Amino acid sequence: MNKYFAACVLLSLSILINITAQTGQPNGKYVLVIHGGAGAVDATLPDSIKNFYYSSLEEALKIGEKILKENGTSLDAVEHVIRYLEDNPYFNAGKGAVLTSAGEAELDASIMDGKDLSCGAVSNVKTVKNPISLARKVMEKTPHVMLTSEGAEKFAAEINLELVEKDYFITPRVKNNYEKGIKRLIEEKKGTVGVVALDKKGNLAAGTSTGGMMLKMPGRVGDSPIIGAGTYADNRACAVSCTGRGEQYIKHAVAFNVSALMLYKNLPLAEAVNEIFTERLNPNDGGLIAVDKDGNYVMHYNTQSMFRGVVTSGGVFETKIWE
């Protein structure tokens, strides 16, 4: 009996040490990385559209930088930056989301806190103005990880999140492309949005939000709201947000496996990401952004382009699409 008791104590200590190891190590450093989708965007886009994208990415970085610089949490930075991108009609998240084959916008989002692996997600919501905020409320106010469809919208109403009419999300450009039956937007690329962040206290967070695929089947769910597929954060390793062919990211649990390669194979972040893209994903599957516990970051893609940007406490501030 004494040996059994001792074994239980050792197991409890082991679990406690593992949980404690996820607490961030404060070093005053912050990093925020964003993406606005990966795909086949031609560099011959009109300058007016290019400039709008660049200015939108820059504004998103400034929102996150202000929060992190003023000792805000990585979780707050992720949520508020994604809210801005959801409200921006040039991205496929929130207002301006692409439409299903039935002509409706069905929105997905997820968020995760690397400190304790808390996470929340929503899928197939049609009237919630900012799905990322609802995902966070699922994480903080319910015992669940994901709510979907009517159940998610009922919860949003109960906690007084802003609701809108379904037509709010449908912009003239999206409606025009839907009516023409165009599956790939040519004049402007609209992509899933995502953010990963490391705050000054050493805590990581990640979030992703999307309208999914143009002309998708009603009810289709991609990787964005699935923890471990499109979003993952663990203070012991990294925070990841993905964009691309959702079914591929689900099959290969891409976001989680980047973290797992770091923890179980002791790979640096860049090597872990490279292994995922060379060993598991196919060319043109998409991209991802990630930041590790030490502030190293990656913006990797195997498509023609990926809208992306990064800001760090070390003075880096840049946005890119093709370079």
Lookup: tokens for 42: 């031609």
3-state secondary structure 231-269: EEECCCCEEEEEEECHHHHHHCCHHHHHHHHHHHCCCCH
Inter-CA distances, 160 with 50, 82, 84, 167, Å: 37, 19, 19, 20
Other Cβ atoms within 10 Å of 296 Cβ, number: 14
Alpha-carbon Rg of the chain, whole angstroms?
19
Q: CA end-to-end span of the chain, whole Å?
A: 65
**Residue 1 has which token pair?**
């009996």
Cα–Cα distance list, 120 to 75, 146, 160, 272 (Å): 12, 6, 17, 25
Does residue 20 have an active-site annotation? Answer: no
Kindly report the number of other CB atoms within 10 A of residue 250's CB atom.
Answer: 17
Question: Do the strands 286-292 and 146-148 form a parallel or antiparallel pair, or are they unpaired?
Answer: unpaired
d(CA 175, CA 313): 41
Buried residues in 158-179 as b, exposed as e (16+ CB within 10 A):
eeebeeeeeeebbbeebeebbe
CA 82, distance to chain mean position in Å, is 8
Q: Which of 73, 100, 192, 231 is catalytic?
A: 192
131-141 vs 74-87: helix axis angle to the nearest 10?
Answer: 150
> What is the rounded distance in angstroms from the CA atom of residue 110 to the CA atom of residue 108?
7
**Residues labelled as active-site residues:** 192
